[in-house]
Structure 1
Amino acid sequence: MSDSDSSGGGWGDDVTRPLRIYVLRHEKRPVDDPTFDVSLTDEGLEDAEELVCEELNELGVNAVYSSPYKRVLQTVEPYLDQVHVGMGACVEWCLSEHPEPNDTPPTEIPDEWHDEFSIESTHVPLMTAEEAHAKNRTIEQVFNRLADFVELLSKVHDEGDVVLLATHQTSVHALLSMASGIPVDCMDVPMGKIVELDWHGVIKYKYHGGPEPPWACYESHFHPSKNKHGGELKFTYIAAEEDSEED
């Protein structure tokens, strides 16, 4: 656990935290280029250095799993580069972008990135790049590979761990959808946003299917607040047509 874990959250020394998992959508990138080696914009780099890093310190993240894409590694690097953190990113191909944006899907991390970024060289990912690409053709495959990964994390991490999954829009939406039953199309998590994941819900989805909310759909909103990342994630109930007719 990082040194920052003891601060915030109202937890005393005699309280045991459960395993917590957070998901992060990478910071801002050029709108017309989602490919493997594209860099964050200047604004995205600045926000990763300040806003994202600050929030990860407040959360006390002590394990980072990252998509191999450059923009995602750039998003978490300022946090990992701090002396007190003492770890690197565990690169996971199952957290890659969907749909595939590259003419030729990448199969390895460029050698120079190991010098540029804090990457755990001994980490063995859940699946190889080739296996991840084979399971990247449909959104159902993305759901399945992510559910398998979350279940693995629940087994290898202990109580008190604070785990971050740094990834892309589709993966963030898929994970939150499995946990909540809210359709992917009803979500719009912005770049740079960190959201806590109900990982128990993801595992329940894997074995029993997702929850079935008694409503037609949700509309997602990020309500303004003092939070620099746009406030807490909230979902607003949209009444079905028959409900509206009864009013």
Structure 2
Amino acid sequence: MKLYFLRHELRPLNDSTFLTELFKIGKENSASKLKDLLNTLNINKIYSSPFIRVLQTVRPFAKENNLQTFCDYSLAETITEKTFIHKPDMTLTEEHIKEFDINLDYISSFDKSLLVYPENDRQIYERVHNFCNHLVDTYGSSNMTILVAGHMDIVNLCLSYFSKQNINRHTYYEMGKLSCVKNRKVIFLNEGSELDNEVELSSL
């Protein structure tokens, strides 16, 4: 298994609610630089947060490569008082499902009805780590190359799990950046950097 981790593209800093869309430049980046970068990695499965800004980030790449998106509520934004004034409705409409080509057969590793408001650190940690365990159990010995797309805190917790490093979930992770873990170190695949298509997760 190979894993790549992505934080959504640029969105309004003062609005991180469920339906918040990307800025125009975020949509443009998703359809150009980011898509081109992802096209070099031989990705054959996409797991995404159900939040619209994340789905918009992966959609150009997914569409060009005829890949459906697997929404997992483990990857949803942290449901804290800092972000929300009440528990958000995270229901994807039929239009969303069609627009983003969501795989309806997939059952999220975390039931969205179990999300509480506000979440505490332990609850956030547990849902993300359960998702990471799901990846290892399902794909650990496979040749799958998987993109995991989400939010800053969520991506940081995934990186902490696979690198076995104590990465604080609040550590700044730039919007639109792609990363992987190699030799238990986090590597950012920034524009202009050399890509190593043989990256393997040393923890697997």
TM over 0.5: yes
Matched residue count: 188
When normalised by structure 2's length, the TM-score is: 0.82
> Structure 2 CA distance, aligned partners of 1:165 and 1:191?
14
Amino acid at match of 1:41: F
Give 1:165's aligned residue.
148
> Shift of residue 185 of structure 1?
6.2
2:51–2:90 Cα contact (<8 Å) kept: no
1:90 aligned onto 2:70: yes
| Matched ranges for 1:79-228 at <5 A | 79-82=61-64, 85-100=65-80, 101-102=83-84, 103-131=86-114, 133-134=115-116, 137-157=119-139, 158-178=141-161, 179-184=163-168, 187-197=171-181, 226-227=192-193
> Structure 2 CA distance, aligned partners of 1:105 and 1:31?
18
Taking CA–CA contacts closer than 8 Å with sequence separation of 6 or more, which of the two structures ends up with the larger relative contact order?
2
| Matched ranges for 1:52-67 at <5 A | 52-67=34-49
> Shift of residue 135 of structure 1?
8.6
Give 1:209's aligned residue.
none
> Shift of residue 97 of structure 1?
0.5
| 1:119–1:172 CA distance, 2 compared to 1 (3 A) | same
Give 2:202's aligned residue.
none
> Structure 2 CA distance, aligned partners of 1:170 and 1:21?
17
When normalised by structure 1's length, the TM-score is: 0.68
| 1:30–1:149 CA distance, 2 compared to 1 (3 A) | same
**CA deviation string 1:139-170 (max 9, x = no partner):** 22222211111111122225221111100011
> Structure 2 CA distance, aligned partners of 1:105 and 1:186?
21
- 2:54 alignment partner, one of 49, 66, 72: 72
Percent identical residues: 26
- 2:12 alignment partner, one of 24, 30, 48: 30
1:45 aligned onto 2:36: no
For the residue of structure 1 that corresponds to 2:32, the secondary structure is helix
**CA deviation string 1:105-157 (max 9, x = no partner):** 224212210122121121111122112x1396122222221111111112222
1:24–1:165 Cα contact (<8 Å) kept: yes
- Which 4+ runs in 1 deviate beyond 6 A? 220-225
**CA deviation string 1:55-111 (max 9, x = no partner):** 1111111110000000000000001111xx232110001100014434342242122
> Structure 1 CA distance, aligned partners of 2:69 and 2:190?
31
> Structure 2 CA distance, aligned partners of 1:145 and 1:43?
31
> Structure 1 CA distance, aligned partners of 2:53 and 2:131?
21
Structure 2: stretches of 5+ with no match in the other structure: 195-204
> Structure 2 CA distance, aligned partners of 1:87 and 1:224?
23
- Greater C-alpha Rg: 1
> Structure 2 CA distance, aligned partners of 1:191 and 1:159?
29
